[in-house]
Structures are given as structure tokens and as C-alpha cells.
Amino acid sequence: MIHFGKTDVGMKRSGNQDSFGIYELAENATLLVVCDGMGGVVGGEKASRLALDAFFAEVKKVCDPKTENGVLDASSVKIPMLLETALGEANRAVLREAKANSELEGMGTTLVALFFCDGTAYSLNVGDSRLYGIVDGKATQITRDHSYVQMLVDLGRITPEEAKDNPKKNIITRAVGTSEELEADIAPVDSALLCDGAYFLLCSDGLSNMLGDDEIAAIACGEGTLEEKAAKLVENANEMGGTDNITVVLAQI
């Protein structure tokens, strides 16, 4: 797997509350993570970085002893359980910091992750940052937004098309660091998306609110290196207004 990540403050914000991580756990295992913080410039940035670091630290702690000669013994790791445990550590890290500093009260962050190992992959999602699989020029949203607007869609009160321009689309219903109990969506990635040449995109809503799935797929599958494609995604989001921080992690099998 090859990969590249890029984050940008956008056109309207004074600071960047997004964080991302690309971690080569072993020759056969990669972890990709994007977090989008909330709670003001200071709180949001702090929350996303704390969650990212704590999440990775737990995954590394479990995987390192099961890695020999640079190869992770995937059969010895229960990946869904590992991701759930790592999320719990991330949640507690943010909660502890908020309790210790009253100025940070109410901070939190989204977290979307992809764990790839030996031709299989698992996704984890809390909030409205997204994971896409892109094959043959088509982008498939793997994760499901935890948002007020998505809830309205699920209830049949608005259509997916109406959701795109709903003024409340940035209200999320789950976030890391906002409650002691936190439920995430953890699931295996469809094997049809794990073919040679397939792309995966993790992004904050600063990208997905600006660009449609078709444009995302066209850029990912177009000409250029991963670095050039990531830069193009950010550039196009900024051209569309850049109303939020923009973070992309683009990977290819």
C-alpha cells in the first residue's frame, strides 16, 4: 500500500483543528486515521491530536509484540476488538484533558480509521469524517455519518439530495471525548473494494462538504502521483469555498 496525507486550514478558518496519521505498523499492516476536532481553535486542535496519539499508541502497543521480522501475525490480533479498545483510550485521553482544564470543556473530535493487513481491512468511524473506497472511477462511501442530517435521511424526513445543502449538516451526534460511553461503527471493508489498484480516501468534512463523490473519484483515479492528487483535492475544495479545515489521506493498494 502506498499513501499520502495532506491537511490545510481552508479559506475561512484561522486555525487547523484537523489531525491525521499514517502508520506503517509492519510490512503487511498499515493504520490510517483522520480526526476533526471541535471546541474552538485551541480545544479542537488539542482534542484531535490527543485522540490521534492515544488511538495509535494503543494499536502499536498490541501489534508490536505480535510482529516478528517486520511482519505482523494477523491471526493473533482480533482487529475489531483492538480498534474498539484503541478508541476507548482515545476517548479517555480527551475526557481527562477536558476535566483537567476548564478552558477545554466541551471539546471533542471525530475519528475515522482504516486498518489494512494481509489483504483485508477494517474501518472505524465516530462522527462525520469519512472513508471512501474508489474502484473503476466510482467512489463508495464506506462509513456512515453520525450526524443530525443523516438521522433525518434515515427517518425518511429528507432526501439524500436535500441533505447536501441542509444548514444543520455539521451537527454531529457522536464524538470522541464528549461522553464516558462511546459507540463506534467498526466493520470489515467489502472485499470488492480491496482489489489491486483500488484507492481509499479518509477525509474530514472540509473536503466532503465541498466536493461530490464523482469529483473525488475523478481526481483519485486521474493522472498524477498520490501527492499531486491529494493536493488537487484540497485545491478544489478551497476553490469551492474552503469553509472548513480540509484533510485528506489517500492510499492505493
Mind listing the pLDDT tens digit for each residue in 97-151? 999 999 999 999 999 999 999 999 999 999 999 999 999 999 999 999 998 988 8
Tell me how far the alpha carbon of residue 68 is from its chain's centroid: 28
Q: Stretch 42-48: mean pLDDT, rounded?
A: 94
Q: Which pTM value belongs to this model?
A: 0.95
Q: Are 125 and 146 in contact (CB under 8 A)?
A: yes
Q: In the block, which residue shows the cell 470522541?
A: 176
pLDDT, tens only, 202-246: 999 999 999 999 999 999 999 999 999 999 999 999 999 999 999
The whole-number pLDDT of residue 150 equals: 87
**pLDDT given at position 168:** 82
Q: Which amino acid does the sequence have at 206?
A: G
Give the H or E element holding residue 199.
Answer: strand 199-203
pLDDT of 164 above 80: no
Nearest to 203 by CA among 234, 161, 167: 234
Q: What is the pLDDT of residue 241?
A: 96
pLDDT score at 199: 98
Mean pLDDT (the chain, rounded): 95
User: Hunting for cell 486498518 — which residue is that?
Assistant: 115
Note the pLDDT of residue 83: 98
- What is the domain range of residue 91? 2-252
Structure confidence at residue 161 (pLDDT): 81
Q: How confident is the model at residue 169 (pLDDT cuts 50, 70, 90)?
A: confident
For 78, counting Cβ atoms within 10 Å of its Cβ (0-12 exposed, 13-18 middle, 19+ buried), the class is exposed
Share of the chain above pLDDT 90, in %: 87
Looking up residue 104, the CATH number of its domain turns out to be: 3.60.40.10
> Domain tally for the chain?
1
Residue 39: its pLDDT value, please? 87
pLDDT at 160: 82
Q: How far is CA 191 from CA 54, 173, 180, 198, 250, in A?
A: 29, 29, 34, 11, 18
